[in-house]
Structure 1
Amino acid sequence: MKVAVTKLKEKDKGTVRLFAEYGHTAYLTPTIRSKKPDDPSSLRRLLGEIKKAQVDYLIFTSSLGVTYFFNECDHLDTSITIISIGPETASSVRENGFSTEMLPAYSSEHFSQYLHCRAWGKTIGVARAGVPNTELIRSLEDLGARVIEGICYELVAAGSDLKDLVANSKVDAVVFTSSKSFSSSRLTENDLRNIITVAIGPKTADTMTKNGTEPDITGTGTLESCARELNAYKKI
């Protein structure tokens, strides 16, 4: 199966190889790109709190966030507990010389279950993209934590050949790797009517559904789950 994957080029580590292992030909068609935030004040505040040893936990939601964070951070005490979302993010943290706990899936419910009573009275830093996640912040605050967000990078629309691939039936499926990548594609339900649509996880699926495109497949938050589910979908 020919599959377009909207993953950011900066975050790509073996996407083509991964899909090939499941018998698919993948094409990277990012609809967004990353850049430094226009307003760096939130990241500076987080870095300042870290320097003052006021942060107990530091959460990284993506490998790209790790890269941008360490480009700006000149001191990170090893006493801080780092929590990474997914193996790719965890690998990026370790490449920077730090150990990390890893949460395999990303949702506010997973954080609540994972941290539970450890969060009470603690300060948690969240190094993230400039895409608000009020559910995550609220779930951490509900656990009794003080949360400091640091916007490490922003995502903006990028030129992409995805529309051409879809319009000319050059791919059988499209994997949307984030809500932002879907909205930036500007593809409608009608555009995608003959294409198998895949949301990398529930949050992206929710965005797609709200905008009129019900995904045929919803993964568990990883590209591997999407590749695996595409094989199962073919057999239906």
Structure 2
Amino acid sequence: MLLAITRLAEKSTTDAALCKHYGHECRVVSPLRAEIRSSTIQTFVLAAADHEFDAIFFTSALPAQKIAPLLPPHLTKTTRVIAIGPQTTKALHESGIAAETLPTYYSRDFVPYLGDWIKEKRIGIPRADVPNPELINAIEEAGGMAFEYRCYGLEPTNQPLNLDNVDAILFTSANSYKMALLPPLKNILPIAIGDITAEAMRTGGLEPKIIGDGSLEGTLKALNTYLRSIK
């Protein structure tokens, strides 16, 4: 199948190879673009280098790509670095930053992953300028302290997505669905990368036929299971 994958262009580097591994082709379509905030990144890097955080949580690969090369390699001697998924972990490791990886792909699992360790700990979170009160409230309710650094904004491209000849469209985030300029999806299979994205799609009137586990690989596995079931 030819899949349209809604991505920031900066985050699409491994999609084609992964899709090919599972027997598909892909086309990246970008309903959003990233507006990088260099001054915020620099402020975060200085704070991290001064050991102001007990842990840093990278919630996506893009801030990891931008920030990891600027961090001192010895940082992890005093600071735990946690990545939301393997692609984010890979971006950190490529710059020599050792990182733990959440066992799932959802920020809601960050606090349960840390458990009682989080009490009285300072958590630095470099992320997109997208509210996530559930994460912040969970950290604070567990006795931790959250420090958000909104390192990039997400702006709509305001360009209709090129879905010519595609068989399916895979939405990789709630915002990538909400901000997409979509033509009618006649004969195009709608796919959500995870349950949060699926809920946004349902709210907007589009029922996903397939819901992944929050990762591209897990979603491709779910797609192939679905395709086998309808043969």
TM-score normalised per structure 1: 0.87
Match of residue 197 from structure 2: 204
Q: Distance in 1 between matches of 2:219 and 2:171?
A: 10
* Mapping for residues 124-203 of structure 1, pairs under 5 Å: 124-158=123-157, 160=159, 162=161, 164-165=162-163, 170-187=165-182, 191-203=184-196
Match of residue 12 from structure 1: 12
- C-alpha spacing 1:99/1:203, structure 2 compared with 1 (3 Å): same
Cα deviations by residue, 1:62-117 (Å, 9 ceiling, x for unpaired): 11111233466579733111001111111111112111111142334421320110
- C-alpha spacing 1:108/1:67, structure 2 compared with 1 (3 Å): closer
Cα deviations by residue, 1:133-156 (Å, 9 ceiling, x for unpaired): 111111111211000001111121
Given the alignment of the two structures, is residue 50 of structure 1 paired with residue 48 of structure 2, yes or no?
yes
Match of residue 62 from structure 1: 60
Which sections of structure 2, spanning at least 5 residues, go unmatched?
A: none
Q: Distance in 2 between matches of 1:48 and 1:20?
A: 40
Residues 33 and 156, structure 2, Cα contact 8 Å, conserved in 1: yes
Given residue 200 of structure 1, which amino acid in structure 2 is its aligned partner?
Answer: I
Q: Distance in 1 between matches of 2:44 and 2:132?
A: 17
- C-alpha spacing 1:109/1:161, structure 2 compared with 1 (3 Å): closer
Q: Distance in 1 between matches of 2:68 and 2:26?
A: 30
Percentage of pairs with the same residue: 35
Question: How many pairs are equivalent?
Answer: 228
- CA shift, 1:185, in A, is 1.1
Cα deviations by residue, 1:158-181 (Å, 9 ceiling, x for unpaired): 26562x42xx5x111100111121
Q: Distance in 2 between matches of 1:32 and 1:159?
A: 8
Match of residue 123 from structure 1: 122
Calculate the aligned-residue CA RMSD, in Å: 2.3
SS of alignment partner, residue 217 of structure 2: helix
Q: Distance in 1 between matches of 2:221 and 2:200?
A: 22
- CA shift, 1:211, in A, is 1.4
Q: Distance in 1 between matches of 2:220 and 2:112?
A: 27
